[in-house]
C-alpha cells in the first residue's frame, strides 16, 4: 500500500492512472522510464519521445540531451531502419510502390 499522507493530488492522480495499467503495460512503461532516466543521468545518451493521437496529425516531441537538429537526425535514421525492416520480407513489386 502506498503512503499517501505527503503525496500531492497530481501524484495521486498519476498513481491512479498507473494502477489502471496491466502488468505488461507497467513493465513496458518501467523500461521506457528507466531509459529516459538513464539519458538524464548520462549526458552522452539522447532521447526523442514522440507523442501523438490517431485522429490528429500533429505530434508533441520531447527531447533529452539533444536539440532539434539532433532529434531530426535520430528520427531520420530510425525512419530508414523501419522502412528497411518493413520492406525486407516484402515481395519485389512492393518495394517499388
Q: Write the pLDDT tens digit of every residue in 35-77.
A: 999 999 999 999 999 999 999 999 999 999 999 999 999 999 9
| Residues 65 and 35 both lie in one domain | no
Per-residue pLDDT band for 4 (boundaries 50, 70, 90) equals: low
Does one domain contain both 54 and 40?
Answer: no
- Please indicate whether residue 41 or residue 8 has the higher confidence score (pLDDT): 41
- Residues 68, 79, single domain; the answer is yes
**Where does 8-89 show beta strands of DSSP type E?**
47-53, 56-64
3 falls in which pLDDT band (50, 70, 90)?
A: low
pTM of the model: 0.68
Statement to judge: residues 41 and 83 lie in one domain: no
Domain that holds residue 4: 1-45
CB contact at 8 A, 52 and 60: yes
Distance, in Å, from the CA atom of 19 to the CA atom of 54, rounded to the nearest integer, reads: 24
Local confidence band at 97 (pLDDT 50, 70, 90 cut-offs)? low
Does 62 lie in the same domain as 36? no
Mean pLDDT value across the chain: 88
Number of structural domains, the chain? 2
Is the same domain home to 40 and 64?
Answer: no
What's CA 4's distance to the chain center, in Å? 28
Place of cell 521506457: 32
Q: CB neighbours of 21 closer than 8 A, spacing ≥ 6?
A: 29
- Which residue among 10, 27, 45 closes a domain? 45
Amino acid at each position: 500500500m502506498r503512503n499517501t499522507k505527503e503525496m500531492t493530488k497530481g501524484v495521486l492522480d498519476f498513481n491512479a492512472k498507473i494502477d489502471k495499467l496491466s502488468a505488461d503495460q507497467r513493465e513496458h512503461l518501467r523500461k521506457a522510464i528507466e531509459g529516459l532516466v538513464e539519458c538524464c543521468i548520462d549526458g552522452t545518451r539522447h532521447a526523442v519521445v514522440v507523442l501523438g493521437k490517431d485522429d490528429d496529425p500533429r505530434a508533441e516531441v520531447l527531447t533529452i540531451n539533444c536539440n532539434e537538429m539532433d532529434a531530426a537526425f535520430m528520427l531520420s535514421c530510425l525512419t530508414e531502419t523501419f522502412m528497411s525492416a518493413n520492406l525486407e520480407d516484402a515481395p519485389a513489386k512492393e518495394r517499388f510502390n
